[in-house]
Amino acid sequence: MGRITELLDAAQHRSQTHSWSFAGALLPHEANELLQLAPGTRLVDVRSQAEIELTGAIPDALNVEWQSWPGWVLNPHFLAQLAQATDPESLLIFICRTGACSYRAAAACTEAGRGSCYNVLEGFEGELNKATGHRNEINGWKHRGLPWAQS
């Protein structure tokens, strides 16, 4: 069994264990590894443009907002924008700040008939450290030292 299969099997097992509707759930380092190994895989950052400008971006990620600032209004064109920007056969990995919006995006795409939708657990900034009131201290893409840049 190859490494891509191992990563996808682990992600699918997590999704089945939790009865999530989408194909699988990846830890940030697994998502990054899959992006390196599986040609055609797309990382879809569903954070708002404001969030990306404030907290940083992941190189080569496709940004399709799930909701927009101000007001956190849901993007009514999300599925159409995603379909226009990606190959229908691509494996899609969704990421947001904490994993909540990307969870909803992966579920919505799966419900709309798109296969191979994966969510990045922990998200870009990870969970809130209640002791300090900060993110990026417990988990998440940035905390794990994965590629990102400040705009």
Write the DSSP string, 81-135: HHHHHS-TTS-EEEE-SSSHHHHHHHHHHHHTT--SEEEETTTTT-S-BTTTTBS
CA-to-CA dists, residue 108 to 14, 32, 35, 41, 142, angstroms? 18, 23, 22, 18, 26
Asked if residues 43 and 146 have their Cβ atoms less than 8 Å apart, the reply is no
pLDDT of residue 151: 74
User: pLDDT exceeding 90 applies to what percent of the chain?
Assistant: 96
Write the DSSP string, 36-53: HHSTT-EEEE-S-HHHHH
Asked if residues 94 and 77 have their Cβ atoms less than 8 Å apart, the reply is no
pLDDT at 49 over 80: yes
Q: Report the alpha-carbon distance of residue 121 to residue 106 in Å, rounded.
A: 12
pLDDT of residue 109: 98
**For the whole model, what pTM was predicted?**
0.96
Strand 67-68 versus strand 73-74 pairing type? antiparallel
Domain residue ranges in the chain: 3-120
Chain mean pLDDT for the chain:
96
Mean pLDDT, residues 46-57 taken together: 96
CATH number of 3-120: 3.40.250.10
Tell me the per-residue pLDDT of 113-137, one tens digit each, with 9 for 90 and over.
Answer: 999 999 999 999 999 999 999 999 9
Quickly state the pLDDT bin for 141 (edges 50, 70, 90): very high
Q: Would you call 75 helix, strand, or coil by DSSP? A: coil
pLDDT of residue 105: 98
Tokens representing residue 18 in the block: 């939790």
Q: Report the alpha-carbon distance of residue 114 to residue 98 in Å, rounded.
A: 23
Tell me the per-residue pLDDT of 65-109, one tens digit each, with 9 for 90 and over.
Answer: 999 988 999 999 999 999 999 999 999 999 999 999 999 999 999
pLDDT at 22 over 80: yes
Mean pLDDT, residues 21-36 taken together: 98
Asked if residues 42 and 58 have their Cβ atoms less than 8 Å apart, the reply is no
